[in-house]
Amino acid sequence: MEFRAEMRYLRVSPQKARLVLELIKGRKVEEARNTLLFTKKRVAAHVGKLLQSALDNANFLSAEKNLDIELDNLYVKSAIANDGPRMKRIRPAPQGRAFRYQRRIAHITLILAERGNGSSHVSGEKRTAAAPAKRRAPMAKKAAWKTSKKKVAAK
C-alpha cells in the first residue's frame, strides 16, 4: 500500500528541491527524517514537514481502513519535484533598460510504501552480472585489411 503527500506552490526552484529529495529516496522513514534534520539546505525543512504529513496519512489510513501497517517498515518510494507556474519579474538595468528574470515554483510529491519483512524491495530475485560481449580477435581484422590492400596493389 502506498501513502502520498503533496506540497504545492513552494517558493523554491525544483532543481534545488531535487538535490534534497535525492538524499532520501529509497531510505526508511526514520533514516530519511534524520538526514533531513542535518541537511543545511533551506528546502530540507519543508521536505521534513512533507515527510511527516505522509507519515500521518499512513497512520490515519491504517486506522481508518483497519490495515495492519508497521510504520517502521515504511520507506520513501518516490520523491518528485515538478515545475509550478513561474513568476515573471523585471530587474532595472543601466541606461533605462530592464532585464527579465523568472522566479521558479515547485510542486513536491512524496510517496511512502511498506517494505516487506526486512527484505529489500527487489523480491527475491538474484542479480546476475551480464556476460561480456564476444569480441572478434583484433588480428583477424588486421589480416583482412592487409589482404584487401595487397589485392588493390596487384591490380
Do 113 and 1 form a contact (C-beta atoms < 8 A)? yes
Phi, psi of 130 (to 5 degrees): -70, 140
pLDDT digits (tens, 9 = 90+) for 70-120: 989 999 999 999 999 999 999 999 999 999 999 999 999 999 999 876 544
Please report the pLDDT score of residue 86 as a whole number.
Answer: 97
**For the packed helices 29-37 and 43-64, what is the interaxial angle rounded to 10 degrees?**
160
What's the predicted TM-score (pTM) here? 0.71
Widest CA span in the chain: 89
Close Cβ partners of 4 (under 8 Å, ≥ 6 residues apart): 54, 57, 109, 110, 111, 112
pLDDT digits (tens, 9 = 90+) for 19-39: 999 999 999 999 999 999 999
